[in-house]
Amino acid sequence: MVKKRLGNSGEGCKFMGLFTGDCCLRCKHLCNDVLCSTWSDRWFFIKDQCFGYIHPKTGRIGNVILFDQGFEVSSGLRALGLHTGVQISTYTRQLVINCWTRRKCREWIRALKEVAHNQARDFTQYNQRHSFAPVRNSINATWFVDGAGYMSAVADALSNAKEEIFIADWWLSPEIYLKRPALRGDYWRLDKVLQRKSEEGVKVFVLLYKEVEMAIGINSFYSKQRLVRNGNDNIKVMRHPQHAKSGVFLWAHHEKLVIVDQSIAFLGGIDLCYGRWDDSKHRLTDLGSLIHSAITPTKRKKTSSSPSGEFPFISVSKSNSKLYMPDLIVDSPSTAAQELARPMSLPAASSSLQVPQPKDFFKQNTPEFERKSLMATIKQGIKGKGKHLAKLSYAPGELQNGPATISELDDVVDDLDGSAKFWVGKDYVNFIVKDFNNLEEPFDDLVDRTTTPRMPWHDMAVCVQNATARDVARHFIQRWNAAKNEMAKQNYTCPYLLPKAYVDCSLKSNFLQAKSQNVTCQVLRSVSAWSCGFIEPDIVEQSIHEAYVDCIAKAQHYIYIENQFFISLPRNNLNTLNQIAEALFTRIVRAYKEKSVFRVYVVMPLLPAFEGEIGQSNGASIQAITHWNYASICRGKDGLLNRLKDHGIPDPSVYISFYGLRTHSVLCGEPVTELIYVHSKLMIVDDKIVICGSANINDRSLLGKRDSEVAVIIEVSTCRYYNHLLSL
């Protein structure tokens, strides 16, 4: 039991600055210890990674403070004006306690220093790249290319959770399906998975970015209400920041994290939201079981190249006496899936039927109750056909007669391809044609599927385990506790979080064991006072930026970059402050002088994902981002390619080249094409080093004082691991 001084998260009162100059010790501490001080009894505790205090009457945890590189402890009359006082300082808190005797004071100081120099040494010492976390060896890591495999693995991890689930997202859509096709109705829908685990006693903590509603329409308030609507006390959701109170209007929490039991952590560029689920096929169409030959549109399709246009008139061919409804018929049924659904037909239509609104003629919207009914029918058909067919969307161990073989699962996936919608409601998106709105109606389509191809989404993510997963969880805990102190300090139903010990984190896990590799790993961040709760505004961590610059400088053979943006100008141009372009320029010039073979490959989206058209009044956002991308690459004297030419390199494309992705398909009998939106935040160096996370190549993500970001840098001694990635 100690006495804690209330209101001491900062330096305390200095009597309007009068007691900060040269004055006696008693006057210097007069305000804090006599005039303005209030003391209360608290139980003080020290754990291997943190310390804090507990209210003795209620047993509630009053605060949790993590050991970090700013840890200091001082005592005595000169430091505090108290013979038995102890002041503990970290980057996020200053805590003053008063012990009963000087002996107790020395014991607490000795205990704090012992933990800081031993169990918590990884976080109180300097780490490479100025990261909060050290480099970890023998870490199990797994790659995910695109959202399908990532979300499926997240679903399995959530289902296996035993104690707690942490989720941090820029945008979270509760109604997304983690496994597709949704053969079990809403069983794998995110909100249902979290509700099911919370009812089993698992604690769920969700941190959402609180957007400026006039600027971004992601509706985090709806996401929060949807998650907590059932009144389950095991689900806690906080939105941050408070814009008016903090004065933060321009910056965002951009991390994408899912952490299970502080032992498995997913991170990268994939939010659990609409539009992110995709696979290597990058489908442009998703009409369900619609017979495409039955539709003959008379207007051109709406794509990113021509997002404007009216709804087409639709005519029904004379040769077709039945109009097949979407979602109910397999296009080309094979033996395995032929009986999973039954056709429904309407009476024969006239030779030409003009329809001003496609939703009156085709099943464009997918209400929740209709989807459930359909899935129940499919599920019943699957059970009659054989339980092994249902293994496609069942978790391991759910089927009593054992899992299906790999060949059986592949056959079923091929058979069902095109027979059911992969993207339900607002999950079918084309960001340039139509931005999100009315998110409280998740099963209503944003665009007409018969005229607008979806925009495919390419992304990268990684799953880490062991000690690195603990480090990612530590970042989440630090952010959660900071948000609670700022917004919900008196809300006793919203608890503080404690990090787990690192003693048993090296135990081998069977999760993703067949796909994981043993690597060396370090967690990197971009955080500052507003995003992570630092008490000093000049404390900033930009270890992601430092890792990028360092890896580029040390690259020997090649650099492969996938990123949503490329906004980086030379050092003397103050429009940007990050040094990515400067580092690439320096490395390429060195390769040119040494006459060595060196290549840089940059893959990025052909257009930014903002609604509108270039050259039109609604295309201001697209034009602004495109301008800075081109200014960084090739336009103007500060463009990277022009700087290389001015430095004497006749053909910069020998050393660096930029690429985009595009695909094509057939929609209702007509060819369509659309760009594949590259959302990855990835850099591979020499088949040995990888940086993967949520940070874009721009000042927002890399400077630390702006958006908050998380990434990992992974190193391997052999190239076998990354040859697999490059072959995809």
Residues 140 and 116 in one domain: no
pLDDT digits (tens, 9 = 90+) for 21-51: 555 545 555 555 555 568 899 999 999 999 9
Assigned domain for 575 exists:
yes
Neighbours of 208 (CB within 10 A): 22
Same domain, 89 and 171: no
Structure tokens at 595: 């006459």
Q: Mean pLDDT check: name the lowest of 524-538, 601-615, 637-651.
A: 601-615
**Model pLDDT, residue 331:** 39
Residues 532 and 632 grouped into a single domain: yes
End of a domain among 102, 125, 148?
125
Instruction: Give the number of other CB atoms < 10 A from CB of residue 570.
Output: 16
Crossing angle, helix 190-199 and helix 147-159, to 10 degrees? 10
Q: How far is CA 556 from CA 346, 552, 688, in A?
A: 65, 9, 11
**221-225, 337-341, 495-499, 613-617: least confidently modelled range:** 337-341
Taking the CA atoms of 16, 53, 484 and 207 in sequence, report the sign of the dihedral they define.
Answer: positive
For residues 94 and 191, state if they share a domain.
Answer: no
Query: Domain ends where: 99, 125, 151?
Result: 125
Tell me, yes or no, whether 709 and 668 share the same domain. yes
Tens of pLDDT, residues 285-303 = 999 865 554 445 545 667 7
pLDDT at 134 over 90: yes
Q: In terms of domains, do 121 and 141 share one? A: no
Q: 176 and 244, same structural domain?
A: yes
Assigned domain for 54 exists? yes
Q: Which residue has the tokens 């580092």?
A: 583
Res 624: pLDDT: 94
Q: State yes or no: pLDDT of 373 exceeds 70.
A: no
One domain for residues 229 and 186: yes
Contact 459, 603 (CB under 8 A): no
Q: What is the mean pLDDT of residues 529-544?
A: 96
pLDDT tens for 466-514 read 999 999 999 999 999 999 999 999 899 999 999 999 988 766 678 888 7
Contact 676, 458 (CB under 8 A): yes
d(CA 77, CA 501): 35
Q: In what order do the strands lie in the sheet with 72-75?
A: 61-66, 50-54, 39-46, 2-5, 94-98, 85-89, 72-75
On whether residue 426 sits in a domain, the answer given is no
Residues 29 and 154 in one domain: no
Q: Nearest 10 degrees: CA dihedral of 279, 285, 289, 293?
A: -140
| pLDDT score, position 503 | 87
- Cα 276 to Cα 178, 425, 474, 643: the distances in Å are 10, 14, 26, 36
Can you tell me the mean pLDDT for 511-537? 94
SS3 call for 683: strand
pLDDT for residue 420 is more than 50: yes
More confident residue, 109 or 306: 109
Residue 527 belongs to domain with CATH number = 3.30.870.10
Residues 235 and 88 placed together within one structural domain of the fold? no
Top pLDDT among 485 and 419 is at: 485
- At position 579, the amino acid (one-letter code) is Q
* Residue at which a domain ends, from 125, 152, 168: 125
In a domain, 226, yes or no: yes
* 120 in the same domain as 141: no
CB atoms closer than 10 angstroms to residue 636 = 13
What is the residue whose two structure tokens read 């006793």? 492
Per-residue pLDDT band at 409 (split at 50, 70, 90)? very low
| 243 lies in some domain | yes
Burial class (CB in 10 A: 0-12, 13-18, 19+), 1: exposed
pTM of the predicted protein model: 0.82
Residue 358 is assigned to a structural domain of this protein: no
Domain carrying residue 706: 520-726
CATH of residue 110: 2.30.29.30
Q: Are residues 470 and 552 in the same domain?
A: no
Q: How far is it, in rounded angstroms, from Cα 208 to Cα 167?
A: 8
The total number of structural domains in the chain stands at: 3
In a domain, 383, yes or no: no
pLDDT, tens digit, 9 for 90 and up, residues 170-223: 999 999 999 999 888 899 999 999 999 999 999 999 999 999 998 899 999 999
Mean pLDDT of 627-651: 96
Give the pLDDT score at 13. 52
Residue 398 has pLDDT above 60, yes or no: no
Query: β-pairing, 599-603 with 558-563?
Result: parallel
Quick check: is 378 in a domain? no
Q: Please, what is the average pLDDT of the chain?
A: 83
Which residue type does 13 have?
C
pLDDT in tens, 580-599: 999 999 999 999 999 999 99
- What was the pLDDT predicted at 193? 97
